Amino acid sequence: MEWHQYFEDTWIAEDNGVRFFLLIGTKKALLIDSGMMVHNARDLAKEKTDLPLELLNTHADMDHVGSNAQFEAFYMHPSEEENYRRGGREGRLIPINEGDRLDLGERVLEIIHLPGHTPGSIAVVDTKHRVLISGDPIQENGRIFMFGPQRNMRDYIVSLGALEKHFDAFDEIWPSHGKLPVGKETVALLRKGAQDVLDGKVQGEATEMHGHSIVAYDVGVSVLLCDA
């Protein structure tokens, strides 16, 4: 795992193909996700700041919660709790919803709910730096998992359309996978690609992943991995 400093008060960790983020305010700091292979993200973050440290999860897929056990509590959308508890994970979920704001001290974060990839997927607008930390729903040169329990392509398309209403709040997007940063135009490209998949306009390729028979749809900007 490697830290990369993006702004004076912002660090990005690269952990075997997935990212998590450390945002530092004047009063406290926040980890956004906690890694995949690493299980000591709290310790690693404390090397960068002495401020009180909290955790927010963009969603509960296993590559985003690797160090959650280091925290007694964490912010997460309540509709994501079923996914999180699967596998016996513990800890107190602090509900966070669309429109909620977290103030780190001279650094306000705003929450956007983006269901589809998972029911409780959220994105975070860092209003200070005008950046959207998007989790998994937005990727360029990535693979977006849309197969398995509780994934919903129609919800995903609606979420991407709703996100366009927030475009005035940020200038670039930081996904958890693939290219970083990406532009706002990626949102429309993914929305069109997902709709084309539903409409049968994209040729898929049958494959297997994690014991699932799936179909991979290359929509240009990324690949959507869907139930067979």
pLDDT of residue 85: 96
pLDDT of residue 87: 76
pLDDT of residue 211: 87
Residue 47: which CATH number? Answer: 3.60.15.10
How many CA atoms, within 13 angstroms, populate the side-chain half-sphere of residue 227? 9
Statement: the pTM of the whole predicted model exceeds 0.95: yes
Number of domains in the chain: 1
pLDDT of residue 155: 98
Residue range of the domain that includes 44: 2-199
Query: Is residue 152 included in any domain, yes or no?
Result: yes
Query: Is residue 224 included in any domain, yes or no?
Result: no
pLDDT of residue 40: 98
Grouped pLDDT means (10 residues each) for the chain, 228 residues? 95 96 98 97 97 98 97 98 92 98 98 98 98 98 96 98 98 98 98 98 95 95 96
